[in-house]
Amino acid sequence: MRRITELIIHCTATPPGWRNGQSTAAKVAEVKRWHIDPKPNGRGWSDIGYHYLIDRDGTVETGRPLDRDGAHAAGHNKGTIGISLFGGKSSSASDQFADNYTRAQDKALRKLIVGLQKQHPISKISGHNEYAAKACPGFNVGRWLVNKPPRSVAASTTLQATGASATAVVGAGATAIGGLDGTAQIIAVVFAGIALLGLLWVARERVKKFARGIR
């Protein structure tokens, strides 16, 4: 495997509804055709230029094998991975991510980045527009990376529900223990304590995940 230290984000410059209803694989095959068809119709390359492509519904497809340099950013194909988002036609470099892409793409791209960071010594994540006078990918990658989208209502509801169920369990437990005799009470209290610790641990894990923005 070649040494990979940077991820470069791109777009396919297709309209939002491009080939709607077709599989991601079919869309990737079409982009590949643009790249491998001989000039002047295509680029005349040996394979699709990108290593990953992300569809509007968040589906991630692989393109060129990772162990080969891509063809996506002139002068920056060595040591990089090219990731392309479907969409971005008529976008501008100053647009927000959400102006051109879906929430599912946002989630999928962040997840892909985290996964690749675990496998490669990635020290930089950039947009094509940082290396060429182009809009691609149609947003500022550095700003997008630090500005996560607002957390969903569903995530905070889950967290509240965890707290509410813990309170309910403790309340019910206390009532039940009150009805038992001496020895049984001690045993019940010990077991209730263990159960409570378990519940607190689950809650702590959820809070940690929530803080990291995992939904």
Residue 120 binds to Zn ion (criterion: CB under 5 A) = no
Neighbours of 84 (CB within 10 A): 29
Considering the candidates 10, 32, 35, 120, report the single residue annotated as catalytic: 10
Q: By C-beta, is 4 or 73 nearer to Zn ion? A: 73
- Cα–Cα nearest to 66, from 128, 116, 24, 121: 116
> What span, in angstroms and rounded, lies between the C-alpha atoms of 93 and 127?
9
Instruction: Find the angle CA(22)-CA(51)-CA(81) to the nearest 5 degrees.
Output: 145
Residue 35 binds to Zn ion (criterion: CB under 5 A) = no
Q: Name the segment binding Zn ion (CB under 5 A); options: 117-125, 130-138, 142-150, 188-196.
A: 130-138
Q: Which helix (H) or strand (E) holds 3?
A: none
- Contact map string, positions 4 to 23, toward Zn ion, x by CB under 5 A: ------x-------------
Active site residue 72: no
**Least distance in angstroms from the C-beta of 194 to Zn ion:** 56
* Contact status, residue 72 vs residue 103, Cβ threshold 8 Å: no
Residue 128 binds to Zn ion (criterion: CB under 5 A) = yes
- State which of residues 136, 141, 144, 162 lies at the interface with Zn ion (CB under 5 A): 136
143: left (phi over 0), alpha (psi -120 to 50) or beta: alpha
State whether residue 26 is helix, strand or coil.
helix
Q: By C-beta, is 54 or 136 nearer to Zn ion? A: 136
Q: Name the segment binding Zn ion (CB under 5 A); options: 38-46, 52-60, 122-130, 191-199.
A: 122-130
Give contact residues for Zn ion (rule: CB under 5 A). Answer: 10, 128, 136
